[in-house]
């Protein structure tokens, strides 16, 4: 009887555990089938947004990847350098996993980017490299002159990473035995890497296009691009000293975003009155962007499994647990919820996004890959709160794979936690599987731009990360992150001036100007609050006499002592131009000068861009119209 009394509770416990495991397995199997179904829709959703033949990209030029077919409220019918690069990286990874029919899309992207690099724009042109920081273009591959948050310095780094991944594949498989295809792509990559090496230490707008400052995501993307770019350059016998010299400086700067509890999304912010906490999906996407399946759980590299990344992730998730109606009643411990960009967000009402909710799951799946590779989970004071939120009995210490440790229980708990975020995203996905940008914080209905390319791409990358830990799908290739990198004792704000040339062999127009002049117009114009000054003229660089495409001036140096508006434009050497200035009133009225001004841009004496400053006085208004 005593023996039976001992066995009965044990048997009951084992029965309940077995039942729970069976139930969990059914949940996993069901989720897996739903993920596979949605992945088919998501990948096709991306391909539908490729011009000119994609069903959602009517009128888009060949090789162009639009952000969304939405043309109003909001209008996303443009091609963004960042979004296209992140999506193309997904396409490359899927191609590497055996989807050979995707290669034509990769090659189309290569040609489009060779063209895009040569399009002069409000950020600049290729001659100085400045134009590579332009965030978006019309779907017909022409410049967008409207007001926007520019420059955005993550695009060149992300584009380089996508093309480096593909180039390494070509070289490693022997398909490109003589290096011709990779060699043709290299000039595109080289332009982008030169841009990063030259401009990484200057502020720009973040990936949400709202904050002008230094971005954690951008800095991390730049660091990775310089490292893997240097490795590829050596393989192609190219000069890479600029990338090797600046990578340690960027890496040192990257550490300054950590405030002891989480990574602050933006620092050195230029906007006055900026008052966000800095807890932002920007930092979760950073961890994914830095993910290397062969890396250790390194805090300085912000790897997904690192203590810093896990502590940051908990802070980010908790910021959304109570602010959305659809999250009400969801347990605070170990349960997936809807997440957005940042808690203070007001864009479209400040809702959760599909891509940010899926990013949480992807970071966690990536972390499981890394723990399974290094065979150890180390819980420290920084990560303990995260671990106890998913596995309440967790304590500081190391857990080795195998034996009697809690390694398997810990990874299972994280897997279940990650799956909860996927379940959340799927719960609010329409029956047809179409992914918009956002879903309502009140009831989960789809909002904002429909068929968002980045949303679709994020679902595919999440699925790949999950398969890597639940099947024999395989990992993405290592990007060669440094092993135990040493942070420099002193951060140096370095820069190496680059040279930039059209990638003609990859598809850039052979007549694209590589010699340009930076012209700065210093305009003395008295304005009141709400009035803004613009420049336009007879060339596409100056808006082609279209008021809607006039270039906005900067009043950053406007003062009582000098009413200064500044315009910096990069123009082709030798151009003969006519131009004038406009003043736009808050009412929409446009005041303009009657007489045209003229400018003969000097010829370049060498391949480096020249510079010239024009001192001007506002000569108006003498006419007006309503915009």
Give the residue ranges of DSSP H helices in 255-319. Answer: 281-290, 307-318
Distance separating alpha carbons of residues 58 and 72, to the nearest angstrom: 15
Catalytic residue among 209, 318, 380, 589: 209
Cα atoms found within 13 Å of the Cα of residue 137, Cβ hemisphere only: 27
Distance separating alpha carbons of residues 627 and 193, to the nearest angstrom: 40
Would the annotation count 186 as a binding residue?
A: no
Residue identified by tokens 């030169």 is: 194
Distance separating alpha carbons of residues 473 and 466, to the nearest angstrom: 9
Question: Exposed, middle or buried: residue 94 (CB in 10 Å: 0-12, 13-18, 19+)?
Answer: buried
Instruction: Tell me if 496 sits within 8 A of 113, measured CB to CB.
Output: no
Catalytic residue among 206, 292, 298, 437: 206
CA 47 to chain centre: 19
Q: What are the residues facing 438 on neighbouring strands?
A: 353, 447
Three-class DSSP labels, 334-370:
CCCCCCECCCCCCHHHCCEEHHHHHHHHHHHHHHHHH
DSSP 561: S
Instruction: Tell me if 386 sits within 8 A of 401, measured CB to CB.
Output: no
DSSP 627: -
Q: What are the residues facing 340 on neighbouring strands?
A: 352
Instruction: Tell me if 94 sits within 8 A of 43, measured CB to CB.
Output: yes
Q: Beta strands 532-537 and 589-592: pairing type?
A: unpaired
Residue identified by tokens 């830990």 is: 469
Catalytic annotation on 209? Answer: yes
Instruction: Tell me if 261 sits within 8 A of 315, measured CB to CB.
Output: yes
Q: Which helix (H) or strand (E) holds 540?
A: none
Cα atoms found within 13 Å of the Cα of residue 91, Cβ hemisphere only: 29
Question: Exposed, middle or buried: residue 167 (CB in 10 Å: 0-12, 13-18, 19+)?
Answer: buried
The string of DSSP codes covering 514-531 is --EEEEEEEEE----TT-
Residue identified by tokens 């069901």 is: 30
Catalytic annotation on 154? Answer: no
Distance separating alpha carbons of residues 158 and 389, to the nearest angstrom: 33
Distance separating alpha carbons of residues 173 and 513, to the nearest angstrom: 36
DSSP 258: B
Pair of tokens at residue 53: 């033949």
Residue 479: name the closest of 177, 223, 201 by CA.
223
Torsion 465-471-473-477 (CA) sign? positive
Positions at the binding site: 148
Active site residues per annotation: 206, 209
């Amino acid at each position: 009887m005593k023996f039976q009394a001992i066995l009965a509770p044990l048997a009951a416990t084992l029965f309940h555990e077995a039942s729970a495991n069976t139930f969990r397995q059914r949940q996993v199997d069901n989720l897996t089938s739903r993920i596979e179904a949605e992945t088919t829709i998501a990948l096709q959703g991306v391909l539908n947004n490729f011009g000119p033949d994609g069903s959602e990209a009517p009128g888009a030029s060949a090789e162009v990847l639009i952000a969304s077919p939405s043309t109003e409220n909001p209008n996303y019918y443009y091609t963004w350098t960042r979004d296209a690069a992140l999506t193309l990286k997904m396409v490359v990874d899927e191609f590497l996993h055996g989807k050979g029919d995707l290669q034509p899309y990769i090659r189309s992207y290569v040609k489009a980017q060779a063209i895009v690099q040569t399009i002069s724009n409000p950020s600049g042109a290729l001659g100085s490299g400045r134009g590579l920081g332009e965030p978006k273009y019309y779907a017909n591959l022409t410049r967008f002159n409207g007001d926007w948050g520019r420059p955005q310095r993550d695009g060149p780094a992300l584009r380089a990473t996508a093309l480096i991944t593909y180039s390494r594949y070509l070289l490693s498989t022997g398909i490109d035995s003589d290096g011709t295809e990779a060699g043709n792509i290299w000039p595109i990559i080289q332009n982008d890497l030169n841009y990063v090496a030259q401009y990484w230490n200057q502020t720009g707008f973040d990936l949400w296009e709202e904050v002008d400052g230094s971005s954690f995501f951008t800095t991390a993307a730049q660091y990775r691009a310089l490292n893997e770019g240097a490795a590829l350059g050596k393989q192609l016998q190219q000069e890479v000293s600029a990338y090797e010299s600046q990578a340690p400086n960027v890496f040192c700067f990257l550490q300054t975003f950590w405030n002891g509890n989480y990574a602050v999304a933006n620092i050195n912010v230029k906007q006055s009155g900026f008052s966000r906490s800095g807890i932002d999906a920007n930092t979760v996407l950073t961890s994914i962007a830095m993910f290397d399946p062969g890396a250790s759980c390194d805090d300085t590299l912000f790897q997904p499994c690192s203590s810093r990344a896990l502590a940051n992730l908990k802070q980010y998730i908790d910021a959304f647990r109570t602010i959305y109606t659809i999250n009400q009643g969801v347990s605070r411990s170990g349960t997936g919820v809807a997440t957005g960009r940042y808690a203070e967000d007001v864009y479209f009402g400040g809702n959760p996004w599909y891509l940010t909710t899926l990013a949480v799951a992807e970071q966690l799946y990536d972390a499981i890959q890394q723990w399974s590779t290094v065979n150890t989970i180390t819980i420290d004071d920084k990560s303990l709160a995260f671990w106890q939120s998913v596995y309440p009995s967790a304590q500081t210490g190391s857990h080795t794979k195998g034996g009697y440790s809690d390694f398997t229980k810990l990874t299972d708990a994280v897997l279940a936690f990650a799956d909860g975020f996927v379940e959340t995203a799927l719960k609010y996905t329409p029956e047809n599987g179409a992914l918009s940008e956002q879903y309502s914080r009140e009831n989960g209905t789809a909002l904002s731009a429909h068929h968002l390319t980045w949303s679709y791409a994020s679902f595919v990358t999440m699925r790949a990360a999950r398969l890597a830990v639940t099947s024999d799908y395989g990992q993405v290739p290592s990007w060669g992150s440094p092993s135990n990198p040493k942070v420099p004792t002193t951060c140096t704000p370095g820069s190496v001036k680059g040279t930039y040339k059209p990638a003609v062999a990859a598809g850039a127009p052979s007549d694209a100007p590589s010699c340009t002049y930076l012209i700065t117009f210093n305009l003395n114009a008295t304005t009141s609050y709400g009035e803004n000054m613009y420049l336009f003229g007879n060339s596409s660089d100056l808006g082609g006499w279209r008021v809607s495409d006039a270039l906005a001036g900067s009043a950053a140096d406007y003062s009582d002592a000098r009413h200064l508006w500044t315009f910096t434009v990069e123009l082709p050497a030798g151009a003969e131009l006519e131009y004038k200035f406009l003043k736009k009133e808050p009412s929409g009225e446009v005041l303009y000068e009657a007489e045209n001004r003229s400018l003969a841009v000097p010829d370049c004496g060498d391949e480096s861009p020249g510079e010239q400053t024009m001192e001007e006085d506002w000569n108006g208004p003498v006419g007006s119209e309503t915009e």
